[in-house]
Amino acid sequence: MAELLVRATSSANPDPTKDQRGCYKRGMPVVVMPDGHPWGLLERLPTFVVIKFPLISVARVQKYIQAQRELVNGETVATRRRLWRIRWADLPQAAQNNLQNTGELTIKATSDYTGAFDYTWAQVKVYWQNQLTGLNETADI
Amino acid sequence: MATLVTVTVQSSGGDYTSLSAAESGQQAIRADLVTRDEQLDIACYAFEDTTQVVFDGFTTDATRYLRVYAPPGQRHSGKWDTTKYRLVVNVGDSSAFRVLDNDFRMDGLQVYNTSTAAGAVAFSSDTSTSGTLYAINSIYRCAPGGAAGTRHAFNPRVGTLYARNCIAWGALSDNGLSVGFRDNLWSGTNGYVYNCTAYNCSRGFHKQDHGSNFYVKNCLAANCTLSFPATWNWPSGSDYNACDTALTTTGNGGNNDPPGANSRVSQTFSFVDAATGDFHLLSTDAGAKDFGTDLSGDADQAFSDDIDYETRSGSWDIGADEYVAAGGGGSNAKLVKTYLG
């Protein structure tokens, strides 16, 4: 399975350009690793949470750690730290509580997975927002 | 004096398990190093880090800066080393390692973008005109070949660049535009690129027409299509460089020759094993060994070691490595800050 490290806090910079381009906001995925990854001592609350996708490969989750990139003056550049962001404040309260208390969520994103989970992908993908379009995720992983 | 804060990046058991996560995590805690009066060191231990890295969002200055380094025992031995810390990423139209924060230092790192897509860069930066970058004893590598387009190994856009004892390797593309060490500095700014080696690049060291002063001293270009191409004049003071390509035309501007009256063309270099990225000089080298100039008292970037942190002495060699006979020389294995400012 893939494990996605997600920021649980927001950073800010007084320069608005640098703030948007460089600062992580709460709900932005940071890195994705294979299942069972031995996260570091600081890769946890209060700064990070981990969202697990059993039986989903790292490659299928990679798109959520891409930067928002736009064509500026003829050159494609990063304009936001991440294209995708979880709308943390809009998550079901139970999900927020789970993240804040345990630092983890397990998402069932394939019918092949029959173990324990917190939510299905169909239930939570609507909270994953494309920062460029403002649209919520509709695609399967 | 700023308080030094050190965090670690290790495959397991450290603070973070990727440099990318370390950047994000430390941004959460100490994005404003100036207000906190801190200097942040990120120590990278031996493993293959496969997540693209971008440093952005920090507030820094000359004494409250970011430094990413591989500690002794965890860094390469002067050649590409798959047993030490290395950032190996496959990203097209992007950089494996990119810095947008001012006041950044990197030391003893290995960076490799394995993509052959157009725009796949190993290292790039884009800071303000007051930004300062130190690139020390590091290896920047691209995947050579392919018709996809330009891929640079080391592509800094900063205010002031201090680069020494670095290797740029494999920035080779069919269009002939990929560069090992690229002058992408802001107009009116200075770059000091000393004792660096470019190997198997379309262009080893490229001076562009940005209005910057991109100084090269004791630099070596080998097996490059163009060694020292310049679309604008190399600044006066560049000297003691060497390449294996023949003399094209004399003078600056639009030619391929290493700048400086003491520079050497048509040289044959003897490396330990260039095919595997070992650009240590053999004792028999007659192209670079002892033909450099002593930069230990250089007014802009004074130093006295090589890519192995071995002490340079006597007649300096050109390139990242100083040949040291077995049992001879000294080692600056202990990381001593010799940064300017």
Whether B256 has a pLDDT exceeding 90, the answer reads no
User: Nearest-CA distance from B80 to chain A in Å?
Assistant: 25
Helix (H, G, I), strand (E, B) or coil at B111: strand
Q: Find the farthest-apart pair of alpha carbons in chain A and give their distance in angstroms, rounded.
A: 49
Q: Considering only CB atoms, which residues of chain A are within 8 Å of chain B?
A: 5, 7, 9, 11-14, 18-19, 21-24, 30-31, 33, 37-43, 47-48, 65, 67, 76, 78, 81
With beta carbons under 8 A apart, name residues in chain B contacting A37: 17
Per DSSP, B305 falls in state B
Q: Kindly state the helix (H) or strand (E) to which residue B239 belongs, with its residue range.
A: none
Tell me what the mean pLDDT of segment A8-15 comes to.
Answer: 96
pLDDT at B339: 40
Locate the chain A residue with the closest alpha carbon to B58: A13
User: Nearest-CA distance from B292 to chain A in Å?
Assistant: 39
pLDDT at B248: 81
User: Nearest-CA distance from B56 to chain A in Å?
Assistant: 5
pLDDT at B40: 98
pLDDT category at A25 given cuts 50, 70, 90 is very high
Whether B249 has a pLDDT exceeding 90, the answer reads no
Taking Cα atoms as reference points, which of B65, B220, B55 lies closest to residue B130? B65
Phi-psi region of B6 (alpha: psi -120 to 50; beta: other; left: phi over 0): beta
pLDDT category at B329 given cuts 50, 70, 90 is very low
Mean pLDDT score of chain A, rounded to an integer?
Answer: 96
pLDDT at B337: 39
Best of B7, B8, B17 to mutate (most A CBs within 10 Å, chain A):
B17
Q: What would the pLDDT profile of B282-314 be if each residue is shown by its tens digit?
A: 999 999 999 999 999 999 999 999 999 999 999
Mean pLDDT score of chain B, rounded to an integer?
Answer: 92
Locate the chain A residue with the closest alpha carbon to B13: A40
DSSP β-bridge partners for residue A6: A29, A49
Q: Do B31 and A31 touch (CB under 8 A)?
A: no
User: Nearest-CA distance from A113 to chain B in Å?
Assistant: 27
Q: Do A21 and B100 touch (CB under 8 A)?
A: yes
Q: Do B27 and A24 touch (CB under 8 A)?
A: yes
pLDDT at B110: 98
Helix (H, G, I), strand (E, B) or coil at B23: helix
Tell me what the mean pLDDT of segment B271-286 comes to.
Answer: 96
Whether A72 has a pLDDT exceeding 90, the answer reads no
- Apex B193 CA angle, B190 and B194, nearest 5: 135
pLDDT at B147: 67
Q: Do B28 and A67 touch (CB under 8 A)?
A: no
pLDDT at B306: 97
Please check whether residue B303 is in contact with residue B338, taking contact to mean a CB–CB distance below 8 angstroms.
Answer: yes
Which of B14, B18, B27 lies closest to A31 in CB terms?
A: B18
Please check whether residue B185 is in contact with residue B215, taking contact to mean a CB–CB distance below 8 angstroms.
Answer: no
Locate the chain A residue with the closest alpha carbon to B128: A18
Q: What would the pLDDT profile of A103-138 be if each residue is shown by its tens digit?
A: 999 999 999 999 999 999 999 999 999 999 999 999
Whether B336 has a pLDDT exceeding 60, the answer reads no
DSSP labels, chain A: -EEEEEESS----SSHHHHHHH---TT-EEEEEETT----TTSSTTTEEEEEETT--HHHHGGGGPPEEEEETTEEEEEES-SEEE-GGGS-HHHHHHHHHHSEEEEE-STT--S--SEEHHHHGGGEEETTT-PBP-S--
Query: What CA dihedral angle connects A14, A18, A19 and A20, to 10 degrees?
Result: 150
Whether B201 has a pLDDT exceeding 90, the answer reads yes
Percent of chain A with pLDDT over 70: 100
* Interchain contact B11–A (C-beta under 8 A): yes
With beta carbons under 8 A apart, name residues in chain B contacting A31: 18, 20-21, 24, 51
pLDDT at A116: 96
Q: What would the pLDDT profile of B25-51 be if each residue is shown by its tens digit?
A: 999 999 999 999 999 999 999 999 999
CA distance B144 to B147: 10
User: Nearest-CA distance from B93 to chain A in Å?
Assistant: 9
Which of B14, B17, B57 lies closest to A23 in CB terms?
A: B57
User: Nearest-CA distance from B35 to chain A in Å?
Assistant: 12
CA distance A53 to B76: 35
* Interchain contact B54–A (C-beta under 8 A): yes
User: Nearest-CA distance from A87 to chain B in Å?
Assistant: 18
pLDDT at B328: 52
pLDDT category at B254 given cuts 50, 70, 90 is low
Instruction: Please give the distance of CA B64 from its chain centroid, rounded to a whole number.
Output: 22
Per DSSP, B245 falls in state S
pLDDT category at B340 given cuts 50, 70, 90 is very low
Best of B17, B24, B32, B51 to mutate (most A CBs within 10 Å, chain A):
B24
Q: What would the pLDDT profile of B42-98 be if each residue is shown by its tens digit?
A: 999 999 999 999 999 999 999 999 999 999 999 999 999 999 999 999 998 899 999
pLDDT at B331: 47
Query: How many residue pairs bridge chain A and chain B with CB atoms within 8 Å of each other?
Result: 86
Tell me what the mean pLDDT of segment B158-174 comes to.
Answer: 96
DSSP β-bridge partners for residue B197: B167, B220
Whether A42 has a pLDDT exceeding 80, the answer reads yes
pLDDT category at B149 given cuts 50, 70, 90 is confident
Whether A38 has a pLDDT exceeding 50, the answer reads yes
Q: What is the pTM of this model?
A: 0.95
- Determine which of A54-68, A124-138, B240-254, B304-318 has the lowest per-residue pLDDT on average: B240-254
Locate the chain B residue with the closest alpha carbon to A16: B57
